Amino acid sequence: MPHTPSRLAAIGLLCASALMAPAHATTPRAPEVDSSALAPLANPDGETNPYRNDPRAIAIGRDAFNQSCASCHGVDADASRSPAPDLRRIGRLCARVPEPDLKRRCLADADVYFRSTVEKGKIKLGIEHMPPWKDILPTELIWAIRSFVETAQGQRL
C-alpha cells in the first residue's frame, strides 16, 4: 500500500501522541503523614513558601513526596530514571542571583509556579501529564513538599 501524504501525516500524528502521553497514568493518592508539626499558615493564599529551610517541614515533605510523588518524579526527588520532570530544577538558578531582593523574587516566582502546577496539574495538548492535587493535598503539605524538593537540589542532577 503506498504511503500518501495524508496517511504519512496520520502515522506521524499517532507516533507524536504516543510520545507525548505520560509513561503511566496515576491516580492521585493522599500521603499518610502526620503534618501536625507544621506551623499553621498565616496566609493560606501566600505566594512564598512559609516553610523554607524548616527541618520539620523538610522531613514531612520528604515523607509526603515519597508516598505521593515518587512514582512519577523518583524516590527522594531523584528523577534520573523517572517518567516525569526533575522537580529539583524548579528555582535552582535563583541561587546564582547575587542581589537579595531579586533572589527573593526569583524564589517567590518558583514557589508560585510549583504550587500552581501541583494544585492544577499539567495538561499539554489535551493530554493530562500530571493530575491536579488541589483537593487531595492541603496547602501546608504542598509547601512542605516544596521545602523538601528545594533541599534535594544539592543532590546530583
User: In this predicted structure, what is the pLDDT of residue 148?
Assistant: 96
User: In this predicted structure, what is the pLDDT of residue 131?
Assistant: 93
Sign of the torsion angle spanned by Cα atoms 136, 48, 64, 69: positive
User: In this predicted structure, what is the pLDDT of residue 6?
Assistant: 62
Buried b (16+ CB within 10 A) or exposed e, 61-88: bbbbbbebbbebbbeebbbeebebebbb
User: In this predicted structure, what is the pLDDT of residue 52?
Assistant: 94
User: In this predicted structure, what is the pLDDT of residue 69?
Assistant: 92
Q: State whether CATH 1.10.760.10 applies to domain 56-153.
A: yes
| 130: three-class secondary structure by DSSP | strand
% of the chain exceeding 90 in pLDDT: 60
Paired strand residues for 124:
127
| 43: three-class secondary structure by DSSP | coil
Who's near 85: CB < 8 A, 6+ residues apart? Answer: 73, 79
User: In this predicted structure, what is the pLDDT of residue 23?
Assistant: 45
- CA 94 to the chain's CA centroid: 17
Dist CA 93 CA 48 (whole Å): 17
Half-sphere exposure of 8 (CA within 13 A, CB side): 4
116-141 pLDDT per residue, tens: 999 999 998 999 999 999 999 999 99
State which residues of the chain have pLDDT below 70. 1-26, 153-157
Dist CA 47 CA 5 (whole Å): 49
